[in-house]
Each structure stands twice: as C-alpha cells, then as structure tokens.
Amino acid sequence: MSEISLLSPRLANQIAAGEVVERPASVIKEVLENSLDAGATQLDVEIEAGGVKLMRVRDNGLGIHQDDLSLALARHATSKIQDLDDLESVATLGFRGEALASISSVSRLSLTSHHHQAEHAWTVQAEGRDMQTQVVPAAHPVGTTVEVRDLFFNTPARRKFLRKENTEYGRIEDVLKRLALSRFNVGFSLKNNGRVIHSWRPAATQPEQERRVAQICGPAFMDSTVHIDIERAGLRLWGWVALPTFSRSQADLQHFFVNGRAIKDKLVTHAVRQAYQDVLYHGRHPAYVLYLELDPATVDVNVHPTKHEVRFRDGRLVHDFLFRSLHKALADVRPEAATQPAAHTTAHATAQTADGHSEVPRVSQVTEQSSLGLQQSSGMFSNLSPQTNSLQHSDDASTGETHLTGEASRGWAPRPANFEGAAYNKDSSTRSVPVNEQIASYAQLTASHDLDALSQNTDVPPLGFAIAQLKGIYILAENTNGLIVVDMHAAHERITYEKMKQQAENSQLQSQPLLVPQSLAVSEKEANYAEENTALFTRLGFELQRAGPESLIIKQVPVALNKADVDVLVRDVLSDLIEFGMSERIQHKMNEILGNMACHGSVRANRKLTLPEMNALLRDMEATERSGQCNHGRPTWSQLSLNELDGLFMRGQ
C-alpha cells in the first residue's frame, strides 16, 4: 500500500493559506498589491470587526476579463510572469498567483471586476471549499472589488489565534500606511466600521509627498528630517532621514522600499545602522523613509514567503552605496541649514531644481553636491585664524586649571563686509579698524533690538554671536532667527573628535608589531576571507597571516588598539565580511577610543569663557561635520525662534 498520496486541492489551498493568510492584514496586503500591479491610482479599503467580519477593497485598475475571473481564483494562476526569465527580473509586487486561491479557501470571497476593454462587469464567488465557480453579470465601474467575509469561518482553530479587534485593525492600518508611503501617485482611503479614518490624495509634487509622510509618520518626524537624492553606479537612493536627535527607543519608524516594495533586510538595516553609529545615542534607533531604485534583474524578491526580504546580486555594492550616501548626508548637515528652515538647498543630485517649497518645515535637503556649498558658506570664517580655528587646551600645573590657547584666547571678530582677505594680525592690539567697526555695528544692532536691521546683516553667521554664558554650561547667542543655546562641552567634544579623526586619517593608522604573535583559531571559511582581504586588514593597521586551514596569526595591530580585545575584534570583522561584504568595526573601535579622548580633552562645565572664546567655538561648530550632536548622540545646540519666545510670554495673544 502506498504511503505517499496527493493532497486534495482544498487541503493544499488551506496549507498555502497558512503562509499567505496569517491574519486580516495579510489579506489586505495581498489584495492591495494586486490592485497596484493592475495600475490602480485610487484604492478604497473598508473593514468591519477588525477585518474578520468584512474586508472590501475597491480599485480603478485595468480590471479582470470575464474569461479570467474563475482562473484568478485558481492556485498558481497569474498574468505577471510566464517563464523563468520573467522570474529573474520581477517588476511587480505579486507574482506567485496563490493569494486569491489561499484567501478564498478560508473565507467567503466575492470578486467583481470590469475590464477596461469590456462593456460590462462580472462577478465570481467562492466559499472555502473546492467547488465550480459561476460567473454572473454585475454593475461595477472599470476596476475591481474584492470582498472577503467571515475570515477563517471554516478553520476555527486559526481564528482563535487572532488578537482583539483594535489590534487587528492596527495591523491593517500599518499595511495601508506602508503602501501609501511606497506609492505617492496613488490615492488611498480607509473606512473602519462605517467611519472614514484616512483619506490620502495622490501626491505628485515633493511638498505633497512631504505632507503625506508627515500625516503617516508624524509632523515631528518631518520637522527633523534631511531630504536626500543621490544617484551613482545605476543605484538611486532618495527619501528622508531623521537627524540623530530624533532617534527612537524602538525600530518602529523605519521604512525602506526597494523598487516600490517594502522590505526589512539585514543588509539594509546594517548599512543604515553603520551610517548612524557615530552620532546615535546608545540603544537608540534611527528613523527614516528611504527608497532604493535599481535594475530589477539585480535583486531577487523571491527569497521569502512574505516577500519582506530580498537578495541583491552585488550586496557589497549596495551596502557600500547605502552606507556612504547616508553617512555623507548626515555629515553635511550644518547649522546654516538648520537655522534657516524657510530656505531649501537643491533637492537632486542630478542638478534638478526643486518644485516649489515644502509646506512642512524641514531641517534641510542634502544632495551629492551640497557639501561644497556648505563648505563655501563656512569658508567666510576661515581667514579669521590662519593657524587654528578651534579651541585648544593647555594644562597649568601650578593651578590645575585648563586654559584655552591659540586664536580663541586672544579674541575673535566677525569678518567685515569689506574684508578683502588681508592677513589677519594675531596681535589683538593691532587689529584693523573695520573689524572693530563690525563688532560695534553688531553691538549697536543688538542693543537697539533692531531685528529688521539684524536680519538684513549678511555677516551674521548661522549660530549668531555669543551674548552670555549661563551657569558655566551653556552659551547664549543671538542670530537672525532668535536665541541659540549651546551646550559648550558637548559642542567642543564633537569639534575635538572630528579633528582627531581627520588627523588620524591623514597620518594613516600607526601600527606596532606584537612581541608575541597571537594565534587565532577560526573556521576554514573565516580563514579564507581573511586571506582574501589581506589588503583591507593592512590598511586598517593589522597584519594577519594564515598559519593553517583553520588558523590565523595576528602579527601587528594598530597602536590605538594595543589594549583592545583584538581576537574578538578580528572575529567580528570576519563575520561582517562574510555576511555583508564589508566591515567598519575596526574603524568604529578606533573612533570609540578617539571619542573618549575627545571627551576628556574638551572644555569642561563651569569653565568660564570670554565672549571671543565663545564666538570661536560657534564658528568651529559651523565648520565641523555632525556638529549638531556630540559623540554620544546628544544635541549640542538648540534654536528658539522669536515666535517661540513670544509664545512663552503670550506676546501678541
């Protein structure tokens, strides 16, 4: 007697439904994706009782022909792929042809459609069992309506695993929000128990897209984002990334789309995390809405039943592109952009002009070329101190106090409008008259509170001019928008840290040989990767030598890491190389050490600074990458606009 038998079509459908239809939100996802593949520009969703009682999705897509309605409910029936070549370059959200069959096997499903080339609409029904379907005429505009009632009515055991109505509704809402973020050109609406909850119109322009993102992710997210649009080597990355100061306690505001498909991929998550690692507070998660566009033939979307994961043909290229693009975008955010929310920089790396201004205030927009403009803006202060434009320190052994040395200790003056680049005299007693006149002019403006004149003064830098120090901790400065409050230790810590990183990079990593070479037992695969990436380890200051099939010898390490747990570090690097094709762990460890050194070497609290010293710190902040956060991810400064200050005292109310 044969022990192997074919499953009945009904049982096969219900097993498949276990993968496709986990809960009502799964049904909504599959049906909406079919509608988008059909070219719909308006999707209307209606649910009752968390979707268990009723789910109805109506679209205005191309529709399904009368002859195809019954076939649409069959397993593995699809119009989206025909052969293996189509599967290797899938451009649609769905392609397996099992969604409607699986849904109909565990519910009462009704499918009504009006094909765009047909005169009438037709409907077909199925009720959870293997049966002959009958197609009958119906009244319906061009497009399709899928109605699903009584989910899991014939599989009560699975129905018991569903959560409360509000929980299931929340999952459906999340699905709709992700799809609304993925397709700005499509309108969406959601009705729950007869009440309209969401209605998003198609968003064609960037301001409209930003309005939708703000509606879905919250205005606070949009207020703290940097817009990026970078294209290189056949890859395009665009969207919005939140500043590190807007980090989250959970990874609940991370939306990443590959060719319009929402994914959660380890390689992508790792690349984004790496880009934030130098500015993100410990244990916090970045927030972003990002879109990656690339050739569909270079990405495999058929690697997971729910299609949430993808596999890139060249994972190292994608990882490197994501990391470098985001790392540069975050580094290029300077105070001049953040203190002028009304003025936007160019929005596209391909030198296209932004279409209007956003109605949602944003921090800035970063492009491939934006760093040049930022450097030029901060360059207006570069002639002030030929030797150094930073606060330096010397320890006085007699008093135990730390003193500021260099140009900062001798005073600072803003560059006057008529300054033609003449040599800046270090001796404060012989400074040129125009500099003093500029100081006097600014003092007169601030004393008279002539804000109109101040706003027209083109020589007022983004972080303004220092006016006082509060409790030995904060610097108070006035700029054209209002009041700037700076945490002087956090700000100087970032400045010192960035300078130390730059110096370490310019002088290359100094290495030292180990007195006793360290043996490291690894797997053969790890040993192969170490041998293949010898040049990478050498560039990072390591000298590794293969001693056997499963053995490595560490002969040389960077000087800064001589007290680190080197064997663990090398193992972690090899693990990254195997999984992601690259690793930044050694650089991160170096940065961690430099960050600790910068923290101890920065100006401490209760250190009284003179106005020139405070102004020198402000100027350095404007010229320093990532100066908005300290080495630990905390903000270094904050802007209070005049309107916000007026609100504190109810002025004008």
pLDDT digits (tens, 9 = 90+) for 315-336: 889 999 999 999 888 888 777 6
Q: Calculate the alpha carbon distances from 226 to 246, 313, 334, 461 in Å.
A: 11, 29, 11, 21
Residue 229 has pLDDT above 90, yes or no: yes
SS3 594: helix
CATH superfamily of 9-200: Histidine kinase-like ATPase, C-terminal domain (3.30.565.10)
| Residue linked to tokens 């944003």 | 362
Residue 341 has pLDDT above 90, yes or no: no
SS3 332: coil
Question: CB under 8 Å to 22, separation ≥6 — which residues?
Answer: none
The two domains 9-200 and 388-420+430-499+604-648 share their CATH topology (first three levels equal):
no
Percent above pLDDT 90 for the chain: 31
CB atoms within 10 A of CB 511: 18
Mean pLDDT of 181-192: 96
Entry pTM: 0.69
Structure token pair of residue 299: 């990405």
Mean pLDDT of 111-120: 92
| CB distance 594 to 504 below 8 Å | yes
Mean pLDDT of 135-140: 92
Tell me which amino acid residue 44 is.
D
Residue 135 has pLDDT above 50, yes or no: yes
Q: Where are the domains of the chain?
A: 9-200, 206-376, 388-420+430-499+604-648, 510-599
| Paired strand residues for 250 | none
Is the CATH code 2.30.30.90 the one for domain 510-599?
A: no
Look over the chain and give the mean of its residue pLDDT values, rounded to a whole number.
Answer: 76
CATH number of 388-420+430-499+604-648: 3.30.1540.20
**How far apart are the C-alpha atoms of 540 and 563, rounded to whole Å?**
16
SS3 383: helix
What would the pLDDT profile of 464-503 be if each residue is shown by its tens digit?
999 999 988 999 999 988 999 999 988 888 888 888 777 6
Confidence of residue 93 (pLDDT cuts 50, 70, 90): confident
Residue 557 has pLDDT above 90, yes or no: no
Q: Calculate the alpha carbon distances from 249 to 129, 394, 463, 503, 633 in Å.
A: 46, 39, 30, 34, 13
* Alpha-helix residue ranges (DSSP H) falling in 155-287: 156-159, 165-182, 206-217, 219-223, 266-276
Residue 625 has pLDDT above 80, yes or no: yes
**How far apart are the C-alpha atoms of 589 and 557, rounded to whole Å?**
13
Confidence of residue 82 (pLDDT cuts 50, 70, 90): low
Most trustworthy range by pLDDT among 12-21, 219-228, 272-281, 410-419: 219-228
Residue 92 has pLDDT above 80, yes or no: no
Say what the pLDDT of residue 420 is. Answer: 32
What would the pLDDT profile of 353-394 be if each residue is shown by its tens digit?
333 333 333 444 544 433 323 233 333 333 333 233 334 444
Mean pLDDT of 427-454: 41
Is the CATH code 3.40.50.360 the one for domain 206-376?
A: no
Residue 194 has pLDDT above 50, yes or no: yes
Structure token pair of residue 650: 């109810």
Confidence of residue 35 (pLDDT cuts 50, 70, 90): very high
SS3 130: coil
What would the pLDDT profile of 61-73 be if each residue is shown by its tens digit?
999 988 888 888 8
Q: Calculate the alpha carbon distances from 237 to 89, 293, 371 in Å.
A: 20, 7, 17
∠ CA 118-124-128 to the nearest 5 degrees?
155
Per DSSP bridges, beta strands 402-405 and 465-470 are: unpaired
Query: CA quadruple 582, 583, 587, 588: dihedral positive or negative?
Result: positive
**How far apart are the C-alpha atoms of 540 and 407, rounded to whole Å?**
34
**Burial tier of 120 (Cβ tally within 10 Å: 0-12, 13-18, 19+):** exposed
Beta-strand runs (E) in 417-558: 465-470, 474-479, 482-487, 511-521, 543-548, 551-558
Say what the pLDDT of residue 371 is. Answer: 32
Mean pLDDT of 23-34: 92
Residue 459: HSE in the Cβ half-sphere, 13 Å Cα cutoff: 16
Q: Report which of 601, 594, 595 is spatially closest to residue 402, judged by C-alpha positions.
A: 601
Show the 3-state SS of 8-52: CHHHHHHHHHHHHCCCHHHHHHHHHHHHHHCCCCEEEEEEEHHHC
**Burial tier of 123 (Cβ tally within 10 Å: 0-12, 13-18, 19+):** buried
Residue 28 has pLDDT above 90, yes or no: yes
